[in-house]
Amino acid sequence: MNQTTRLWGGRFRKPPDPRLMKLSSAAGEHARLVPQDIAGSRAHAAELERAGLLSAAERAAIVGALDSIAADAAAGRLVPTEADEDVHTFIERVLTERAGPVGAKLRAGRSRNDQAANNLKLYLRQKARPLAGMLAELLGAIADQAEAHAATVCPGFTHLQNAQPVTFGHWLMAHGQVLLRDASRLADWEKRAGQSPLGAAAFAGSAITLQPALSAEALGYESPFENSVDAVAARDHVAEFLFVAALTLTNLSRLAEEVTLWTSRQFGWVTLDDGFATGSSIMPQKKNPDIAEISRGRAARLAGDVVTMLGALKGLPLSYNRDLAEDKRAAFDAVDVLEEVLPAFAGLIASMEVHPGPMRAQAGLGFTLATEVADHLARKGIPFAEAHEITGALVRYCEDMGRELESLDAVDLRAVDPRLDAGVLDCLTLDAAVAARSGHGGTAPSRVIEQVGRFRETLSGVSRWSREGAP
């Protein structure tokens, strides 16, 4: 790399060692930030004109050259070379080639420190809403399946043991609710990432560009930075974005685990569409839930990205340190993973075929209706502690006799305890058990339908926000 293509070096007596440059350079890895670097450069050019360092004609020449760079980079006709230390060096090199010496004026009043902070913040702000749109597509698919199976009875689990009957729609909506909160976290994140770092320069602020509020407005931020040191040193917005991404994939991985179980022969609840499953290279009969399994694995990666960013920040003195360059690799990985996983999972959920028969057949196994007996006794005025003991004795009776609760008659009930009247039998059906949970947020089919309706209303807000476009 020669002196004219580096943004530093005047005080150095010899060029950098190639080993240093191999470690330090990342222009190719960060090339996806070209649009953001150019956007920041356009805004900075306007600041330099306001400061009197550029004439209107010079600014127009710079902006024209930047526009041509943006077009060529977007078309793949222009990429960084190995000699470009970073994306900023790349843009300035090509800018001076195309605009001439006036291009070198653009560096006045700014630093790679505020450029780097601005580039990644802009990039993540431009990704948050499209990612929310992808998540909204998945949530819509969950809502569709939940509505279709609002009355489909299946086992509910604690400790992965049959516990009580619920509806499959209610179970799906449990996954939907937490993922909907993840979508809202993206919106909350955007609000906190609304301060522009441009104009902070190296860290002390700029003596040339004195109106950063105008640059902030031009770039779609809500406001300029309040503290120039914080503007270049802070990466909490990156850490928070990574956390939201990792939490989203962590929550999705729980659904992924259940999809893997549901599609197994042991469960037999769901069959995946052929377009969203893979096969085995040696076992011709296999149909594997790879989307679910890959999603579980990617969740681990995103958890690692959060740890990477927090580790880079921990104990780091103000203001800028090169450790902060780790923000881009972690952030790019999080965006890439979400952009791959969310659409694939949405297709999986939308296209999967649900089998109510096996679900219902398994829903009563393991004495899942035992709570109905205890509740019936409690409604008759028997203290629940006693009702619990009586019901436990009834379960023991069934175990000894090799029978299920639903098969009992009035004689069996009296044999266990005289307080077990024939009215218990009306409670010992799957549909009665599900219908009884009719409070707000319960698993009764009517309540599930209401829940889906409220869910769709909130989801429509997420979808509208995602379609409004990046700020």
Q: How many whole angstroms separate alpha carbon 350 and alpha carbon 229?
A: 48
How many Å separate Cα 365 from the centre of its chain? 36
H or E segment and range at residue 163: strand 161-167
Outline where 402-444 has alpha helix (H).
410-416, 424-427, 430-436
Task: List the catalytic residue out of 280, 407, 438, 460.
Answer: 280
Helix axes 112-148, 445-467, angle to 10 degrees: 150
- Neighbouring CB atoms inside 10 A of 249's CB total 26
Q: How many whole angstroms separate alpha carbon 360 and alpha carbon 153?
A: 5
Asked whether the beta carbons of 394 and 409 are under 8 A apart, the reply is no
Tokens of 436: 């009884």
In the chain, how long is the greatest CA-to-CA distance? 100
Token pair 């909490």 in the structure block, residue: 236
Paired sense of beta strands 223-224 and 195-196, if any? parallel
* Residues facing 354 on adjacent strands: 270
Q: How many whole angstroms separate alpha carbon 248 and alpha carbon 306?
A: 12
Token pair 């040696």 in the structure block, residue: 282
User: Annotated catalytic, 280?
Assistant: yes
CA distances from 338 to 51, 121, 352, 431, 467 (A): 42, 17, 21, 39, 17
User: Annotated catalytic, 463?
Assistant: no
DSSP 51-99: HTSS-HHHHHHHHHHHHHHHHHHHTTS----TT--SHHHHHHHHHHHHH
Collapsing DSSP states into helix, strand and coil, what is residue 206? coil
| Residue 29 amino acid letter | E
- Sign of the dihedral through C-alpha 55, 61, 67, 72: negative
Listed residue (161, 159, 100) closest to 368, CA to CA: 161
Helix axes 56-74, 34-51, angle to 10 degrees: 180
- Neighbouring CB atoms inside 10 A of 191's CB total 8
Half-sphere exposure of 53 (CA within 13 A, CB side): 20
Enzyme catalytic residues: 159, 280
